[in-house]
Structure 1
Amino acid sequence: MDITAPRFTNEDAAREHLEALRWPEGPVCPHCGSLNAKRLPAQRGRPSKAHPEGALRKGLIQCNDCREQYTVTVGTLFESSKIALHKWVLATFLLCSSKRGMSGHQLARMLGVTQKTAWFMSHRIRESMRPVDGEPPLGGEGKVVEADETFIGGKEKNRHKSKRTGRRLGGSWGKETVFTLVERDGRVLSTHVQSVTAANLRPILVEQIDKATLLCTDDAGQYRHMHRAFKHEIVNHGAEEYVRGVAHTNTVEGFFSILKRGVVGTYYHMSPKHLHRYCVEFDFRYNTRKTNDFERCEIALKGIEGRRLTYRRTDNIAA
């Protein structure tokens, strides 16, 4: 298994690979859910400037119950895309296997597409990395969850005078705030928040952490009263205390080091509008760290089902 595998270079092989992942027991109709289907021979689509004779449509399947036709990409992030399917599969692998992410320009060069196309492909793939609905909360009896925040953005002194905020925002000068929960030897969950206050963070903690969890934080004021909801241990960084028994925040700070390397070394700038998607990407790679790159790619490809993201919606989906 390597990057020159047929599914990364051949359209038919990519489609067969995706079918095997989505339908291990045979095609499932996305319209009615029926397993009763038959495969159709390749058909010509409508003529166009790019394809005067009509593009050849392969992988067509017809449901014998509702009589609708479909392919493996119907009802997924890849539906109605004009980009070759093997390029989608390769782009997913590249984004999953790059520990610090991959820039739109680099992805564009490797796929032979424009930077704008590669940027949009990346955001679509990040949608497939989102956690599935109904995942259990972090922690539990005998488990430890660390909570901390970090700030994304350049130094205020390096900004143009017209871009300087002149006031403190979100706990740091003009930066965006990412609040992260890490279960030791478990999952991570990052959230883009407007500011670091107890009113903002408490609902996230209560919703995402099991009540029986031991919560570890630093001595920041926003965590002062968290003992009312959890067993709470604090390390006093102000007094140069970083570890006391099981109490420390080294795990979450290790995750931040990976996130910051992605910002400084790969993406350089993450707009506030899309920061939550970049958080999903780094969370996904951390949560699948015990798998290899190919297994991680397959997990992401399975996540394309039931999720659509059009170009216009990239500006309208809230964090």
Structure 2
Amino acid sequence: MAQHFLLSAEARTLSLKEIYKGGEEKAYLTFKKLRWQQTNGEAVCPKCGCVDTYEITTRRKFKCAACHAQFSVTSGTIFASRKLGFCDLLAAICIFVNASKGLSALQLSRDIDVQYKTAWVMAHKLREALAAETASEVVEGEVEIDGAYFGGHVRPENMKEDRKDRRLKANQSDRRRVVIALRQRDGRTLTFVRREEAEGVAIAKARVAANSMLFADEAAHWDALEMHYETGRINHSQMYSDLNGKHTNMVESFFSRLRRMVQGQHHHVSHKYLYQYANHAAWMEDHRRNSNGANAFSLLGASLAHPVSRTWKGYWQRSSFA
């Protein structure tokens, strides 16, 4: 029997031991090469694009010969205004991608010895950067669609006579949200957080290419998709697959990862940030057959290509950004 890829040596191409053994200088060179890939690590001014720069070696900064602006390798990126060293940032990314079912901020803060707030914001910045990969993605071919509800649990009262019918809308929490997922077979997974699963119809029309084949369950709101796409419906009360390709098992696999992430790692996820965790689970699901080194450098490259976060920069100071 062939060995599973994730158990093989090819899946382990980066380790914390290797990162810290290489030291701060090697990590810094890695940041430079991934930030300025087209110039093989040679600095490019983020303001005017000039390649004629010189390095201020004592401060690990650069100065542009054209506009005289000073900048660093993380200026204008998701890591702008960082205080952690490059070695610690690279180690944090390695730990982040190694956790196949997600990583709690508390565990990350202990692993790299930083405050919980620092780890929490860093993890969310990484999730924002990885989500940018599919921000404008359109799926095509064979696509599965489904929704799963998260949060909003209403705890029943202790005394039987005090309990309410939690099936009624008046007795339900307003924090309950549904994650709607579009998953292209052998492709990417797109996630959206909404209040009702029926809102997925409009999402599908906008993000699924014409002439695609849609697979869904027997929920009535998916009937509207049959006017626009060829569809394959599966009744889950009878079977999960007809053994001829009609199923939603791949999108259910994503939901399984997300539920394990929420229940097993984070235990509680606010409805305000559920979209972040859904994007993280989708990215891990789509990159599950890559080595941890490939995932780490891919995420680092995406982070260095992503602009300053207007959501997470100054989060704990409650700073507001345009």
Range of TM-score over shorter length: 0.7 to 0.9
TM-score w.r.t. structure 1 length?
0.83
Report the Cα distance in structure 2 between the residues aligned to 1:126 and 1:206, rounded to whole angstroms.
26
TM-score w.r.t. structure 2 length?
0.83
The one-letter code sitting in structure 2 at the alignment partner of 1:75 is G
The one-letter code sitting in structure 1 at the alignment partner of 2:94 is F
Partner of 1:292: 291
Is the contact between residue 156 and residue 173 of structure 1 (CA under 8 Å) also seen in structure 2? no
Partner of 1:153: 151
Report the Cα distance in structure 1 between the residues aligned to 2:186 and 2:132, rounded to whole angstroms.
18
The one-letter code sitting in structure 1 at the alignment partner of 2:313 is T
Is the contact between residue 9 and residue 87 of structure 1 (CA under 8 Å) also seen in structure 2? no
Indicate the SS of the match to 1:113. coil
Partner of 2:30: 17
Is the deviation greater in 143-152 or in 155-164?
A: 155-164
1:202-217 aligned at under 5 Å gives the runs: 202-217=201-216
Q: CA deviation at 1:132?
A: 3.5
Q: CA deviation at 1:261?
A: 0.8
Question: Does 2:49 align with 1:33?
Answer: yes
Is the contact between residue 165 and residue 173 of structure 1 (CA under 8 Å) also seen in structure 2? no
Is the contact between residue 235 and residue 244 of structure 1 (CA under 8 Å) also seen in structure 2? no
Indicate the SS of the match to 1:4. helix
Indicate the SS of the match to 1:146. strand
What count of residue pairs does the alignment treat as equivalent?
A: 296
Is the contact between residue 8 and residue 14 of structure 1 (CA under 8 Å) also seen in structure 2? no
Q: CA, structure 1 residues 133+178, in 2 after alignment: closer, same or farther (shift >3 Å)? A: closer
Q: CA, structure 1 residues 133+243, in 2 after alignment: closer, same or farther (shift >3 Å)? A: closer
Report the Cα distance in structure 2 between the residues aligned to 1:158 and 1:185, rounded to whole angstroms.
43
Is the deviation greater in 22-31 or in 248-257?
A: 22-31
Q: CA, structure 1 residues 314+294, in 2 after alignment: closer, same or farther (shift >3 Å)? A: farther
Report the Cα distance in structure 2 between the residues aligned to 1:219 and 1:315, rounded to whole angstroms.
44
Partner of 2:244: 245
In angstroms, what is the RMSD of aligned CA positions? 2.9
Equivalent pairs: percent with the same residue? 25
Is the contact between residue 15 and residue 59 of structure 1 (CA under 8 Å) also seen in structure 2? no
Superimposed CA distance per residue, residues 253-301 of structure 1 (whole angstroms, 9 cap, x where no aligned partner): 1111111111111011110111111111111112222311111111111
Is the contact between residue 177 and residue 192 of structure 1 (CA under 8 Å) also seen in structure 2? yes
Is the contact between residue 101 and residue 258 of structure 2 (CA under 8 Å) also seen in structure 1? yes
Report the Cα distance in structure 2 between the residues aligned to 1:144 and 1:256, rounded to whole angstroms.
18
Report the Cα distance in structure 1 between the residues aligned to 2:156 and 2:316, rounded to whole angstroms.
32
The one-letter code sitting in structure 1 at the alignment partner of 2:43 is P
Q: CA, structure 1 residues 168+251, in 2 after alignment: closer, same or farther (shift >3 Å)? A: farther
Q: CA, structure 1 residues 9+263, in 2 after alignment: closer, same or farther (shift >3 Å)? A: farther
More helix by share: 2
Q: CA deviation at 1:159?
A: 8.2
Report the Cα distance in structure 2 between the residues aligned to 1:133 and 1:237, rounded to whole angstroms.
29
Q: CA, structure 1 residues 172+148, in 2 after alignment: closer, same or farther (shift >3 Å)? A: farther
Superimposed CA distance per residue, residues 44-102 of structure 1 (whole angstroms, 9 cap, x where no aligned partner): xxxxxxxxxxxxxx321111111111110101111112222322221111111210111
Q: CA, structure 1 residues 244+180, in 2 after alignment: closer, same or farther (shift >3 Å)? A: same
The one-letter code sitting in structure 2 at the alignment partner of 1:263 is V
Report the Cα distance in structure 1 between the residues aligned to 2:67 and 2:165, rounded to whole angstroms.
59
Question: Does 2:269 align with 1:270?
Answer: yes
Q: CA, structure 1 residues 6+224, in 2 after alignment: closer, same or farther (shift >3 Å)? A: closer
The one-letter code sitting in structure 1 at the alignment partner of 2:80 is E
Is the contact between residue 63 and residue 70 of structure 2 (CA under 8 Å) also seen in structure 1? yes
Q: CA, structure 1 residues 233+6, in 2 after alignment: closer, same or farther (shift >3 Å)? A: closer
Question: Does 2:260 align with 1:261?
Answer: yes
Q: CA deviation at 1:241?
A: 5.8
Report the Cα distance in structure 2 between the residues aligned to 1:59 and 1:291, rounded to whole angstroms.
32
Partner of 1:78: 79
